[in-house]
A = this chain, B = another copy of it.
Amino acid sequence: METPVRVVLVDDHPMVRAGLSAMLAPFARRVRVVGQAGDVTTALELVTGLSPDVALVDVRMGTASGLDLCRTLAALPVPPRVVLLSVYDDEQYVYEALRAGASGYLLKRVDGEELVRRLEEVMGGETVVDVTLAGRIAASAARLHRGEFWPGAHLGLTQRESEVLSLLVAGLSNRAIADRLVLGQETVKSHLRALYRKLDVTDRAAAVTVALRDGMFR
């Protein structure tokens, strides 16, 4: 066993910090919490002062974004590895996180043993992503290979229909949709009819309901 991983916790909830500390306490020989911060400024002071191995950062700290902090930390002369913690199991966030320079993206459902193992993996140079997310990312990658990448493809919508639907959800009229997509409104009506048939609805309001409930758009 090597020297323990030195970790700084960054989260605006005292509760979460206490939870992390408590969870990591039994593994003190492998992971050592050397500091805690509840906001971005003290987090920066702490990291520059202590030069920890890893900063364990919440992605959503009230108003401030953990992603921004991640970028800031990654730009330091002696950057720590940054592992982001989140409750959002959304693929998109993972991409942003890794692009922001994070070495890991874990969900808050992890337990102590798992967390310690992941932190050690990060120290070994690996990039760790929560397993459930990793699975989904793999699945969506597979979909990409099959060519299904626009929202609604799983319902048999064509790309164009998906575009029309997104504007419909945005509240645009047929005329406005036509202008936006540089089409005649008759064309838009054609797409809408196909859309209604595939979504099994009879009007635009119901189509919006189906689309939003399905999670195709936000």
Residues of A within 8 A of B (CB): 12-23, 60, 62, 87, 108-112, 168-171, 173, 201-209, 212-213, 218
Contact = CB atoms under 8 A, between A and B. Distances in A.
A205 to B, nearest CB: 4
A40 to B, nearest CB: 15
B109 A62 contact: yes
B108 A15 contact: yes
Contacts of A218: 213
Contacts of A171: 201-203, 205-206, 209
Majority SS of interface residues in chain A? Answer: helix
Contact of A14 (B15, B112, B207): B112
B18 A23 contact: yes
A172 to B, nearest CB: 8
Contacts of A13: 19, 87, 108-109
Nearest to A23: B18
Contact of A16 (B15, B169, B202, B208): B15
Contact of A204 (B108, B202, B204): B204
A212 B20 CA distance: 35
B23 A14 contact: yes
Contacts of A206: 171
30 contacts: A13-B87, A14-B23, A14-B109, A14-B111, A14-B112, A15-B108, A15-B110, A15-B111, A16-B19, A16-B108, A17-B19, A18-B19, A18-B112, A21-B22, A60-B87, A87-B87, A168-B205, A170-B209, A171-B201, A171-B203, A171-B205, A203-B204, A204-B205, A205-B205, A208-B208, A208-B209, A209-B212, A212-B212, A212-B213, A213-B218
B173 A203 contact: yes
Contact of A23 (B15, B23, B173, B203): B15
